[in-house]
Amino acid sequence: MRNAILTGASILALVVAAPAMAQDNKSTITQTGNTQNAFVTQTGDDAEATVIQSNAQNTATVTQSDDAGGVATVTQSGLDNDATVTQRAGDSVAEVEQSGDFNLATLTQGRAAGAIQTNTPEALLVQGGDLNTIIASQTGSNSDLNVLQGGDRNDANVLQAGFDNSSGDDAGVVGISQSGNDNDTFLTQTGSLSDAFVSQVGDFNTATINQSVGNNPNLPGVDPRTATATIMQIGDTNTSTINQTGGTNTVSARLMEATSTQGGNNNNSTINQTNNLVTAVSSGNSATVDQGGDRNNSTVGQNGVLLVANVTQDGDDGTVSVTQTGTGSDTNITQDGTLQKATTIQSGEDNLSTILQAGTDNTATVTQTSDDNISFINQNGMANIATVTQGN
C-alpha cells in the first residue's frame, strides 16, 4: 500500500510539471522508500528540475517561475530530509544534496514577480551530517552562494540582497564550510561586490558576518571587491563577529578586509569596519585577529582610511581593545602568557603603535591623538603597567 501511495505522489508531481514540459521545461523525479513527497512547479521556459529521493519520509519542493531560467537539482538520502528551492529569475542554478538524518535546506533565489534586477545567482548546498539546517536567500544580481556542512547539528543562515555579493565563488571556494558539530553561521550581505568566507572545524562555534558596503563612488574600469570578510574557527566554543558598513560617493568605505582566526577555545573576537569620517574614493582598512590561546577577548573598531590593525593572542585570558579613526595609522598587538590587557586608541594621521606582552597580568595603554606618532611597548614579567599618551 505504501508503494502505491508513493507511486501516486510521483505521478502527481510529474503532472504538475507537465505544462512546463510542454514549453521545453524538464522535470525528473525518482523516489524509492516510504511516504516521500515531491512537488515541482515550472512556468516560463528553459527550466529544469531533478529530484531524487531515497528511503523514508523525504520532502522536496521545487518552484521555478517568473520566466524560469534556472536549473534546480535536489538529491536526498536518509530519512526525514526536507529541501525547498524557489527560483524566480533568469539564469538561476541551485543544487541541494543531503545525506543523513533530519536535515533541512531552504533556498530562495531571485526577485518576486514585478521586481527589478536579479541575474545569474548560483547556489550549492551540501549537508553530510545529521540535524543540520541551512536557510539561504539571494536577491540582487550576480550573486553566488556555497554552503557545505559535514558535521552534526550545524546551522547556516545566509542572506544576499545586494549587487554582485559572494559567499564563495564558482571556482570551487566554499563560502560556508562546517565540518565540526553544533556550529552556527549567520551571514548577511546587503551592499555590493562583497565576499564572505566562514570555515568551522571545531565544535560549538558561532560566526557572524554583516556586510553592507556600497561601491561608491562607482569609478570607471573593473569593479573591485568592496569588502572581504573571513572567519576561521578551528577550536571550540569561539565567537567571532565581523561588521563592514558604510560608503557614499564622497566618503567611501570600499576595499576593506577583515580576518578572524580562532585556533583556541572560548575566544571572542569582534571587528567593526567603516568610513564615515574621511573624504576618499576608498577606505582600504585592514584588520586581522588571530587567537591561538583560550578565553581571549578582542575588539577592533576602524573608522577612516588606510587603517591597519593586527592582533595576535597566543596566551590565555587576554584582553585587547583597538579603536582607530582618521587616516593611515597602524596598530600591532601580540600577547603571550596570561591575563594580559592592551588598549590602543588612535586618531589623526600616520600613527604607529606596537605592544608586545609576555608574562602575567601586564597592562599597556596607548593613546595617539595627533599625527606621525610612534609608540613601542615591550612587557615581560608580572603586573607591569605602561601608559603612553601622544598628542598636541
With a CB cutoff of 8 Å and minimum separation 6, the contacts of 316 are: 264, 293, 294, 295, 296, 338, 339
Q: What is the pLDDT of residue 190?
A: 79
Q: Do 218 and 250 meet the contact criterion of CB atoms below 8 Å apart? A: no
Tens digit of pLDDT at every position of the chain (392 positions): 222 222 233 333 333 443 434 456 677 777 777 777 777 776 767 777 777 777 777 877 777 776 656 777 777 777 778 777 777 756 777 777 778 778 877 777 766 545 555 556 677 777 777 788 877 776 655 666 777 777 788 888 877 666 665 665 443 344 788 888 999 999 888 777 788 899 999 899 999 999 888 777 777 666 677 889 999 999 999 999 999 998 888 899 989 999 999 999 999 999 999 999 999 989 999 999 999 999 999 999 999 999 999 999 999 999 999 999 999 999 999 999 999 999 999 999 999 999 999 999 999 999 999 999 999 999 999 999 999 999 97
The C-alpha cell at 89 is 529569475
Q: Do 325 and 318 meet the contact criterion of CB atoms below 8 Å apart? A: no
Q: Report how far residue 379's alpha carbon sits from residue 305's, in angstroms, rounded to the nearest whole number.
A: 30
Sequence letter at residue 190 = T
| Phi, psi at 151, each rounded to 5° | -95, -155
With a CB cutoff of 8 Å and minimum separation 6, the contacts of 224 are: 193, 215, 254, 255, 282
Return the H-helix or E-strand segment holding 60: strand 59-64
Q: Is the bond leading into 217 cis (omega within 30 degrees of zero)? A: yes
With a CB cutoff of 8 Å and minimum separation 6, the contacts of 250 are: 217, 279
- Residue 126: closest CA among 157, 95, 156, 154: 95
Q: What is the pLDDT of residue 362?
A: 98
Bridge partners (DSSP) of residue 58 are none
Q: What is the pLDDT of residue 304?
A: 96
Q: Are strands 166-167 and 71-79 parallel, antiparallel or unpaired?
A: unpaired
Q: Are strands 176-178 and 206-213 parallel, antiparallel or unpaired?
A: unpaired
Sequence letter at residue 56 = A
Q: What is the pLDDT of residue 162?
A: 61
- Taking only the tens place, the pLDDT of each residue in 209-229 is 998 887 777 776 666 778 899
**Cell numbers 576602524 correspond to what residue?**
302
Q: Report how far residue 71's alpha carbon sits from residue 370's, in angstroms, rounded to the nearest whole number.
A: 58
With a CB cutoff of 8 Å and minimum separation 6, the contacts of 242 are: 208, 209, 210, 229, 231, 258, 260, 270, 271, 273
- Taking only the tens place, the pLDDT of each residue in 173-188 is 447 888 889 999 998 8
Q: Report how far residue 18's alpha carbon sits from residue 168's, in angstroms, rounded to the nearest whole number.
A: 35
Q: What is the pLDDT of residue 163?
A: 60
Kindly tell me the burial class for residue 234, based on how many C-beta atoms sit within 10 Å of its own C-beta (0-12, 13-18, 19 or more).
Answer: middle
- Residue 272: closest CA among 338, 321, 334: 321
